[in-house]
Chains A and B, each alone.
Chain A
């Protein structure tokens, strides 16, 4: 979706009458990265309909860039801004304009996830884009490439997503709104870690890492070891605790327009936005999965159940049949 080469003809735009403000347009297609069409001889923009020749005026380019600019304000809701929703409507109805806006985004190093009234112009930063978030900027302690804090901050983001979309259907269903709390995310990861610990104990494994080889320590141990909270002198959350790390993640995601705060229960309650679902589904999830596959770890699931304990991964119908948890 990043490389929309404009067709030789901006079909619909060509038939529409030229906007009034186009008198001074010099090279109207300059914003479109279309080497194939850039050198074509062009009629003066004031001519009215030159038969299939696209007419992209500076005003159009300005509007397209404006739409991208709206997309760069992720907390802005289209429903709250008449101009935004008007530009979105134009993006939907005018393919030439849509291509132009997509091209502007691509040129800025942005990836368009979706353009819709619910999500707005959902753009995200391409890798190495100036808009990308870097771990070192995100958390100072996490700047070192192999620090435990770096892992914990990354895991916190992953866990927030997993808790917000616990089942595959939730991630796929456009209408789904996930709800999370900070303490809930922490408790859920801890529970997963505890199960691994119990499993290792049952198997009689010694999970204590070798001294001097911190990179070989199992990932769950890093999380389990870190305290979940801690008293501080000024009654703020302890930044290095796991709830502190999760709270930082959700606060950051809220800033990104991915979550909305709904209350203060359990360390802060949040709900997801359409943009977050798109981001996780189309970008983050697949990127992490391919990294995992590169490591040679392939998780086999049947595509249905999720958040299952490892041992009852296949026990779906038991839940339905069980009804009462008590044996009579």
Chain B
């Protein structure tokens, strides 16, 4: 343990990374605006490049689709993951379709995918954009600089899936001038909302509510990042001041917003129910949905905030209270990774090369003898049979038929039992008749009759059969030389197949 932080802590990792002092303030402002301008370029570019697509695509307003997709991704971003790629495409299609209703749906989907892929910039290795702008450095020399940015980025989700998130730059493009304090901006937006509602200007109110929701998402995103870092390393985050302050602030914020938005919700509900103009009614209803979504997001944020404490303590137990080591080793992060990252890449690459050369272990080289090589090269390629190897003729052995009764006997018995539905017969009569045909047949008839004593009504019902053999015991003793037991009454019941079919449809 060492002393607490000094008043002016100098990060050791950054000691070597002295960068030139910032340029004149005015020029800096210009640079910031140039960068903001650059963020819109990919959207304009879409409309320029749509002419190059194979097909007639000038009817589509690509920048509009792009902004709509950034909207969709922002609204679908959750804490852990981002928005699902396919879902965004699916939600984008109605807007694309509205632009050109006459075109086929496959073309709409193609446009939606094209816009989304271009916002990700799939073609580039960084999957991002680069703009060049010029500034004067402190020495008054004009330098051109590369500004790299992304609009939509792909992040890993659960199970290896890829999700989309909007970057800060994209949110700035979308809502504009978000370079302000999140909390105060939100308060301002909601005050505005209340005023607007009280004056009945619901159209403006919806706009303000949507803006408030974007800010809520952005606020949650900031918190998510901090909590994520905490989970990875308890000391990577300032748990003395910064995080507790932020959590307290965020909890206050949630409590405050929750109260506030519930009040707004009540107001809008009243507006919705009392509004006479159907347009007003619809807008108020939409507003209710938006505010409900805001409340849902706040609740989600709050549960994350409450999890942060136990998470911190568990991680601290794991990381801080471990048994002290007998000897100190190399601090890979503090002495290698952290000082390395601020270096110019040309220098940093020397360090990573050194680590790579000695940190990857060994590979046993593959060596080829010339003799083997000649053999391999001269071996004709394997002929691949289209149909595969020929199947050997199977040698079948006839298994002896050991059935108790033959097919003919079964047919005869079934014929005997094919009774008229209104003329049931006694088993004794059937047995006697069967015995006249074939001495073995009574056994089969008796067996079938016993089975019929518990007829498979359910199966017959499901299969929609019209007739069913049944047997009933009325107490009469069977008088037969070979069989004993009850002299069953065997008959055929007619089933209402059409009624049963109708019943099945109703049940289903």
Contact = CB atoms under 8 A, between A and B. Distances in A.
Contacts of A286: 330
A192 B337 contact: yes
B432 interface: no
A97 B182 CA distance: 71
A138 B363 CA distance: 11
B374 to A, nearest CB: 23
A133 B346 contact: no
B357 A287 contact: yes
A318 B6 CA distance: 13
B247 interface: yes
Interface stretch (A45-53, A87-95, A301-309): A301-309
Given A219-B341, A227-B128, A288 B336 contact: yes
A240 B322 CA distance: 38
B361 A124 contact: yes
Interface in B327-344: 327-344
Interface stretch (A3-11, A18-26, A163-171): A163-171
Interface string B352-366: 111111111111110
A281 B335 CA distance: 13
A159 interface: yes
A98 B146 CA distance: 58
A305 B360 contact: no
A299 B355 contact: no
Interface stretch (A33-41, A58-66, A148-156): A148-156
Contacts of B239: 318-319, 322, 325
Interface stretch (B119-127, B201-209, B279-287, B470-478): B119-127
Given A206-B145, A320-B320, A306 B331 contact: yes
A210 to B, nearest CB: 5
A124 B337 contact: no
Contacts of A256: 360-363
Interface residues on B, range: 35 or more
A169 B128 contact: no
Nearest to A137: B363
B330 A158 contact: no
B355 A158 contact: yes
Interface stretch (B9-17, B53-61, B446-454, B500-508): B9-17
Given A231-B85, A313-B9, A267 B156 contact: yes
B336 A169 contact: no
Contacts of B346: 146, 215-216
B103 to A, nearest CB: 25
Given A208-B147, A215-B345, A227-B150, A171 B333 contact: no
Nearest to B344: A216
A173 to B, nearest CB: 5
B404 interface: no
A77 interface: no
Interface in B1-50: 1-6, 9, 11-17, 19-20, 22-23, 28, 31
Interface in A312-328: 312-320, 322-327
A319 B235 contact: yes
Contacts of B15: 297, 299-300
B489 to A, nearest CB: 67
A289 B330 contact: yes
A229 B155 contact: yes
B156 A214 contact: no
Interface residues of A, number: 135
A148 B345 contact: yes
B244 A325 contact: yes
A226 interface: yes
A323 B317 CA distance: 10
Given A257-B361, A308-B236, A200 B345 contact: no
A49 B365 CA distance: 41
Contact of A314 (B2, B19, B135, B344): B2
Contacts of A221: 148
A158 B343 CA distance: 15
B329 A315 contact: no
Contacts of B328: 168-169, 172, 303-304
B97 interface: no
Contacts of A225: 126, 128, 148
B480 interface: no
B343 A325 contact: no
B396 interface: no
Given A162-B333, A221-B148, A226-B127, 16 more contacts: A127-B357, A130-B365, A157-B352, A158-B352, A162-B337, A169-B328, A191-B236, A199-B11, A205-B20, A256-B363, A285-B336, A289-B336, A309-B237, A310-B11, A316-B235, A325-B247
11 contacts: A125-B361, A131-B363, A132-B362, A154-B353, A166-B333, A191-B228, A192-B338, A297-B15, A301-B334, A306-B334, A327-B245
Q: List the 4 shortest-distance A-B pairs measured between CB atoms, nearest first.
A: A154-B352, A310-B11, A284-B359, A169-B325
Interface of B: 1-6, 9, 11-17, 19-20, 22-23, 28, 31, 85, 120, 122, 125-128, 132-133, 135, 143-148, 150, 153-156, 160, 162, 225, 228-229, 232-240, 243-245, 247-248, 308-309, 312-313, 316, 319-320, 322, 324-365
Interface of A: 72, 74, 110, 123-125, 127, 129-133, 135, 137-138, 145-146, 148, 150-151, 153-155, 157-159, 161-162, 165-173, 183-184, 186-189, 191-194, 196, 199-200, 203-212, 214-223, 225-231, 237, 240-241, 243, 252-253, 256-258, 264, 266-267, 275, 279-281, 283-292, 295-320, 322-327
